[in-house]
Amino acid sequence: MHPNQGWPPQQPPPPNWAPRPSVAPAFLAGGLWLLVSVLCFVLAGLNSEDGKGIRQTPQAAVALLGLAFGRGVVGNGDAAIVATYVAGGVVLLFAALLLARLGFARWILAGLGFLVSIYYVFAVIRLTINHGGTFIIVPGVALMLWLAASMVSVIPPVGQAMR
């Protein structure tokens, strides 16, 4: 008996046919950016309760955006708390756009992420030079999270998932 008896012969797919790319990389990148946003809100929230400012949790305060520039630039630390809140809000907005698979959002997030990663490298180096070895942990974790989210955002599978 012939194997195709009763069934039409199967045709190969057209030569330019390709399976649709997975959307999982876009959701992975969006999830990492949501973690970055949560980190920003937690860091800023820990240091803005009860009016104590950055004296409340000094180990977490060193990870606030801008605090490594010194008292002459930042003042009492309120500007760093606000900058961290604003960065968390901007990241949350563009992470939602990334999860909606709008391609421009990943490039804006990647640019912001690499810029903040450079700041955290500066903060870790400054803490190391000033003998603040016990304070490096939180900025180091923040650096790794910002850098990981930025790097995942620019890989080609994330770009293919945006289509």
Domain that holds residue 117: 24-161
Among 3-17, 63-77, 112-126, 127-141, which is the least confidently predicted range?
A: 3-17
Q: What mean pLDDT comes out for the span 86-90? A: 96
Among 8-17, 37-46, 72-81, which is the least confidently predicted range?
A: 8-17
Q: Is 50 left (phi over 0), alpha (psi -120 to 50) or beta?
A: left
Structural domain count, the chain? 1
Among 52-66, 104-118, 140-154, which is the least confidently predicted range?
A: 52-66
- 37 in a structural domain: yes
- 142 in a structural domain: yes
- 1 in a structural domain: no
- 11 in a structural domain: no
Among 19-33, 40-54, 121-135, 142-156, which is the least confidently predicted range?
A: 40-54
- 9 in a structural domain: no
pLDDT at 152 over 80: yes
Q: What mean pLDDT comes out for the span 114-121? A: 96
- 7 in a structural domain: no
**pLDDT in the model for residue 10:** 75
